[in-house]
A = this chain, B = another copy of it.
């Protein structure tokens, strides 16, 4: 940023004095890559891009924003799915990158804990844990860019939630800068602490609207010593759920993934990635990926136990066919098919996508009942679901009729379909955002469908902790 630019904006002048040229820029080449969200749905403008070096700088910057009335849009890896880190069109907001605050402050291997700053990338965290023969048990597609701060602010999920939970379950301590610049510091992990309600929980999943997460103490687990991935074919989604119950009963402590995909998605993967080899030769209404892992203590018997579990499942007629990974490479190959489903589905043409949950036991019925209903109500569409059956969370796509102008369809019929899907989910007691958050993408739908008492609480707490409304305005609430 040139000095002249700063001098015409008193806020930027003060911010530049505080952060220095490394910490503040208006250079469009540096700023613009961060003004569009990961999925390319939202593009905004920003007054500048701030990258404070530490929590003290950030605290002072937030005070400065308060004095000048400047809105702040916090951003980690900019890989969110709901536009929660993209500023609006006014250009009023300061885009705040946490990426420079990327130190791993401490790993306590014996206690199984890491304290790291908000800007640490998930992949880096994985590697740091592995170097200590430990692991951080949350992972997702964007792990090369997603940061700890963003993962906490959105309470991220991913493919390993079944056993170890979403981000919320892995946060032991937290540090954040509040709207008035105060630093809330609760990094020390206490297993028991009843000094009032748990303030950490307010910041987890609040999408930067109540405070800016600057660091966290996270749970680490013993490294995976052995892993078996099983691919099974079943005749229906209820059958998949029965298989899930069977696996939970036999290997509840080692079962870490239970993903479902319809045959149509497997076909789409084959079209999209011709080199992919389906684990099973035959066709099955639903395909299931089951991941079972053990640390060193349980590794020796894992494979044998998996074989027993699957033999028992065969005997009880819980599946049509199954294959078990014989190597790490094969385990990865099985996962690659699952991970390719979203891209393969997108390649099939225009679609509206939904990230929804209902109570776990209701998901098979939800899909079986609502998919034909939607296809009848919106002729020519195809409704498909895939994902985390074990969490009651599927990604629910409704594909446009063929030969459709995608953009126009999305804006009209697509919007109507999404409203219908969200209505149905709400009727079934579910959530219109299982793991992707609300951001700006689903804000209006949350207002339309949210429980009035819940909306009242969300707004009252927001007003209480950010009375000027400067923290990530226009997101969530």
**Which residues of A approach B to under 8 Å, CB–CB?**
108, 110-111, 154-155, 157, 161, 166, 168, 178, 182-186, 188-199, 201-207, 210, 245, 249-250, 252-253, 297, 357-361, 388, 391-393, 429-438, 446, 450-454, 456-458, 460-461, 463-465, 476-477
Copies of this chain, complex-wide, total 2
Contact check, B393 vs A438: say whether CB atoms are below 8 A apart: no
Contact check, A202 vs B461: say whether CB atoms are below 8 A apart: yes
Please indicate the chain B residues that have their CB under 8 angstroms from the CB of A453 in the complex: 178, 182-185
Please indicate the chain B residues that have their CB under 8 angstroms from the CB of A190 in the complex: 357-359, 392, 429-431, 434
In Å, the complex CA distance between A155 and B201 comes to 14
Known: A249-B297, A359-B189, A453-B182. A194 touches B199 (CB 8 A): no
CB-nearest residue of chain B relative to A467?
B460
Please indicate the chain B residues that have their CB under 8 angstroms from the CB of A429 in the complex: 188, 190
Instruction: Indicate which residue in B205, B249, B450 contacts A194 across the interface (CB closer than 8 Å).
Output: B205
In Å, the complex CA distance between A249 and B429 comes to 40
Contact check, B203 vs A451: say whether CB atoms are below 8 A apart: no
Known: A178-B453, A454-B184, A461-B461. A154 touches B194 (CB 8 A): yes
Interface residue SS majority, chain A: loop
| Nearest-Cβ distance from residue A426 to partner chain B, whole angstroms | 10
Contact check, B460 vs A464: say whether CB atoms are below 8 A apart: yes
Contact check, A194 vs B465: say whether CB atoms are below 8 A apart: no
Contact check, A297 vs B391: say whether CB atoms are below 8 A apart: no
Known: A110-B245, A190-B430. A195 touches B438 (CB 8 A): yes
Please indicate the chain B residues that have their CB under 8 angstroms from the CB of A463 in the complex: 464
Instruction: Indicate which residue in B155, B191, B193, B435 contacts A433 across the interface (CB closer than 8 Å).
Output: B193
| Nearest-Cβ distance from residue A209 to partner chain B, whole angstroms | 8
Please indicate the chain B residues that have their CB under 8 angstroms from the CB of A460 in the complex: 464-465
| Nearest-Cβ distance from residue A477 to partner chain B, whole angstroms | 7
In Å, the complex CA distance between A191 and B390 comes to 9
In Å, the complex CA distance between A407 and B327 comes to 71
Contact check, B361 vs A111: say whether CB atoms are below 8 A apart: yes
> Would you mind naming 24 contact pairs between A and B with Cβ atoms under 8 Å apart?
A108-B361, A111-B361, A154-B194, A182-B456, A183-B453, A184-B453, A185-B453, A188-B359, A190-B357, A190-B392, A190-B434, A192-B357, A192-B391, A192-B393, A194-B433, A194-B434, A194-B438, A195-B432, A196-B446, A197-B205, A198-B205, A199-B458, A202-B457, A249-B297
CB-nearest residue of chain B relative to A205?
B197
In Å, the complex CA distance between A454 and B359 comes to 34
Contact check, A192 vs B161: say whether CB atoms are below 8 A apart: yes
CB-nearest residue of chain B relative to A210?
B197
In Å, the complex CA distance between A192 and B161 comes to 9
In Å, the complex CA distance between A358 and B193 comes to 9
CB-nearest residue of chain B relative to A295?
B252
In Å, the complex CA distance between A432 and B461 comes to 26
CB-nearest residue of chain B relative to A361?
B111
Known: A391-B192, A438-B195. A110 touches B204 (CB 8 A): no
Other A-B pairs, 8, CB within 8 Å; known A166-B192, A197-B205, A463-B464: A186-B454, A190-B430, A190-B434, A191-B360, A194-B433, A196-B207, A196-B476, A197-B206
Instruction: Indicate which residue in B191, B393, B465 contacts A191 across the interface (CB closer than 8 Å).
Output: B393
In Å, the complex CA distance between A361 and B109 comes to 12
In Å, the complex CA distance between A205 and B192 comes to 12
| Nearest-Cβ distance from residue A139 to partner chain B, whole angstroms | 15
Instruction: Indicate which residue in B166, B196, B393, B451 contacts A186 across the interface (CB closer than 8 Å).
Output: B451
Interface centre among A183, A196, A207, A465 (most CB of B within 10 A): A196
Please indicate the chain B residues that have their CB under 8 angstroms from the CB of A451 in the complex: 184-186
Please indicate the chain B residues that have their CB under 8 angstroms from the CB of A357 in the complex: 190-193
Contact check, A192 vs B461: say whether CB atoms are below 8 A apart: no
